[in-house]
């Protein structure tokens, strides 16, 4: 993957005046008051026509959403995608996130949770590209920065540095924390009428799988499918040994019953093939697919993202009368 261009740091703002067409139209019709308690009888600073916060403005939305969260303004990134960032404050620290929603399909909609890889962030090229593909199909997508990554930090860490930070906190503690962060994020989006909280998918390779196994367990029956890969029960000497937790990975995998697609690089130089196959065997669901490709850990065939996306949309698509759930 090409390296991401430099990006501006997200600075949360309350009541940002979005340039999204539906919000401009709503402001043009201003004069009617917001129905929520926060602005009852007064005009709403952020109109209720927002495609991302359709249930009310912020802080009006706080009447229903029990999270300490700040939202940025909505930005329409294409004809079919609206983007909004948020910052959740939790006792364990802040959780920076972004949600992408389909412009022409009101929520709540099935949602894909996108986990980035090591040294990445929630706006990595692959994450943004996949979010655009899912919104064009009528689904929402969300991503958060992983522990010791992205805007959780003042400046990026090297692989050795962030691995040392995870080791110092304890790998088990970090896995529990990121799982809780994802559950909090999905609950927030469901309460905001963005996500259908009963139809979620998870995608994450490498570190995205390391963190995603615990996340998938925490999501429970709301998880309809997951794409994992480039991770296993054995690891190369180049990785900090304190991150190696095969018993936890096995235990989590054995509790995941949702359909799984597993992406394997045959000559993976960070997570040996045998350990990845052992992990694949541990998934407890009746439906799982193994897709193996030649190449090392850093290689991803160009057509692989299409396979991931087809798998996810097939399982998120609602049943049609007289038809199967396949697209």
DSSP string, 136-168: HTT-EEEEEPPTTSGGGSSS---HHHHHHHHHH
Report how far apart, in Å, the C-alpha atoms of 252 and of each of 22, 209, 214, 217, 218 are. 43, 11, 6, 6, 10
Q: How far apart (Å, rounded) are the C-alpha atoms in residues 92 and 22?
A: 36
Query: How many CA atoms lie within 13 Å of 78's alpha carbon, on the beta-carbon side?
Result: 13
Fold topology of 68-316: Rossmann fold (3.40.50)
CA 174 to chain centroid: 17
Predicted pLDDT at 130: 97
Alpha helices in the chain (DSSP H): 21-28, 125-136, 159-169, 171-191, 207-219, 246-253, 273-282, 304-316
Put residue 295 in one of left, alpha, beta given phi > 0 → left and psi -120 to 50 → alpha.
left
**Buried (b) or exposed (e) across 41-73, using 16+ Cβ within 10 A?**
eeebbbbbbbbbbbbbbbbbbbbebebebbbbb
Strand segments (E) across 256-308: 260-265, 288-293
Give burial (CB, 10 Å; 0-12/13-18/19+) of 293.
Answer: middle
Q: Where are the domains of the chain?
A: 23-64, 68-316
pLDDT by residue, tens only, the chain of 327 residues:
444 443 333 333 333 333 333 333 333 333 333 333 333 333 333 333 334 443 333 333 333 446 799 999 999 999 999 999 999 999 999 999 999 999 989 889 999 999 999 999 999 999 999 999 999 999 999 999 999 999 999 999 999 999 999 999 999 999 999 999 999 999 999 999 999 999 999 999 999 999 999 999 999 999 999 999 999 999 999 999 999 999 999 999 999 999 999 999 999 999 999 999 999 999 999 999 999 999 999 999 999 999 999 999 999 987 666 554 433
Report the run of H or E that residue 226 belongs to, with start and end.
Answer: strand 223-229
pLDDT (0 to 100) of residue 305:
97
CA pair distance 263, 251, nearest whole angstrom: 20
Left if phi > 0, otherwise alpha if psi is -120 to 50, otherwise beta: which for 212?
Answer: alpha
DSSP structure string for 27-66: HHTBTBBBSSGGGBTSB-SS-TT-SS-TT--TTGGGGT--
Tokens encoding 160: 């050795």
- Residue 136 CA: distances (Å) to CA of 85, 141, 164: 19, 11, 39
């Amino acid at each position: 993957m090409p390296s991401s261009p430099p990006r501006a740091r997200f600075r949360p703002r309350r009541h940002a005046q979005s340039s999204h067409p539906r919000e401009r139209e709503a402001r043009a019709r201003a004069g009617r008051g917001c129905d929520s308690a926060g602005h009852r009888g007064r005009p709403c600073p952020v109109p209720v026509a927002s495609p991302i916060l359709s249930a009310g403005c912020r802080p009006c939305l706080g009447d229903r959403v029990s999270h300490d969260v700040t939202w940025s303004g909505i930005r329409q990134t294409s004809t079919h995608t609206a983007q909004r960032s948020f910052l959740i404050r939790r006792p364990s620290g802040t959780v920076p996130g972004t949600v992408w929603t389909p412009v022409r399909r009101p929520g709540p909609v099935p949602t894909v949770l996108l986990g980035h890889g090591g040294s990445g962030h929630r706006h990595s090229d692959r994450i943004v590209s996949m979010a655009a593909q899912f919104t064009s199909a009528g689904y929402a997508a969300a991503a958060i920065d992983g522990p010791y990554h992205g805007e959780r930090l003042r400046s990026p860490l090297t692989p050795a540095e962030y691995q040392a930070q995870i080791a110092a906190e304890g790998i088990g503690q970090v896995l529990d924390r990121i799982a809780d962060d994802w559950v909090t994020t999905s609950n927030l989006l469901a309460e905001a009428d963005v996500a259908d909280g009963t139809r979620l998918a998870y995608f994450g390779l490498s570190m995205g799988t390391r963190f995603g196994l615990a996340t998938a367990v925490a999501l429970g029956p709301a998880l309809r499918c997951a794409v994992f890969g480039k991770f296993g029960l054995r690891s190369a000497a180049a990785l900090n040994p304190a991150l190696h937790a095969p018993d936890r990975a096995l235990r989590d995998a054995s509790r995941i019953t949702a359909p799984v697609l597993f992406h394997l690089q045959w000559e993976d130089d960070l997570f040996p093939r045998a350990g990845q196959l052992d992990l694949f065997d541990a998934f407890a669901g009746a439906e799982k697919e193994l897709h193996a490709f030649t190449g090392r850990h850093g290689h991803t065939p160009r057509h692989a993202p299409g396979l991931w996306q087809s798998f996810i949309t097939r399982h998120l698509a609602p049943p049609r009368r007289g038809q199967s759930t396949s697209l």
